[in-house]
Amino acid sequence: MKSKRWPHRVSALLLVGGCSSPTPPPPAPARPAPPPAAAARPAPTPAPAPTAIKPAPQKRARNWDEYRVIAAQRIVAASRSASYDGVPPEPLLAIPVLEIELNGDGSVRRVSVMRQPSQARDTVQLAIDAVHRAAPFAEVSHLPKPWKFTEVFLFADDRRFKPRSLD
């Protein structure tokens, strides 16, 4: 009788053993998440550009001295966040000097660098950019030729400027 029951018992054990759930495999070691694609990363925020404000209409200057003051006011108005008012700080960071040549209608014909500072050379380009932001200036066809004037830019340590004509 042993021989008849033995195969049934073995098959029952195999059947019960086969129904039990297998031991789950050990968890895989944690891998760091892959870095996000370059396109998915936010682009670095550039430094804010000086706030340009549309300057008010210009009055007609009677001579070049008056014209320089009016042009300096326009440069400051067009670059409000890049300029300062009041007394220039001591010592100044840089003092670039530009010669601004105009067409008869007040548009900028050429900007020449008359004095390049020995340090903070980037202030020259900041001054040139401020001139172009303020352009066009008032008409100059009624003034004597050559239609050009010189402006001295007084830069503070924070790279904000004041035109010397406003002192």
Instruction: Let me know: does 132 contact 108? Beta carbons within 8 Å.
Output: yes
Identify the H or E element spanning 124: helix 122-134
Q: What is the rounded radius of gyration, in angstroms, for the C-alpha atoms of the chain?
A: 38
pLDDT confidence of residue 60: 87
Structural domains of the chain, with CATH: 64-85+92-166 (3.30.1150)
pLDDT, position 125: 98
Q: Which residue has the higher pLDDT, 55 or 159?
A: 159
Tens of pLDDT, residues 119-149:
999 999 999 999 999 999 999 999 999 999 9
Mapped onto helix, strand or coil, the DSSP state of residue 1 is: coil
Q: What local confidence, expressed as pLDDT, does residue 121 receive?
A: 97
Q: Tell me if the bond preceding 146 is cis, omega within 30° of 0.
A: yes
For 28-58, what is each residue's pLDDT tens digit?
555 555 555 544 444 444 444 555 445 556 6
More confident residue, 55 or 80: 80
Q: Within a 10 A sphere around the Cβ of 153, how many other Cβ atoms?
A: 26
What does the pLDDT read at residue 8?
A: 52
Q: How far apart are the first and last CA of the chain?
A: 123
14 has a pLDDT exceeding 70: no
DSSP one-letter code for 143: S
CB-based contacts of 128: which residues, under 8 Å, 6+ apart? 98, 111, 113
Residue 89: both structure tokens together: 């700080």
- Residue 134's pLDDT is 97
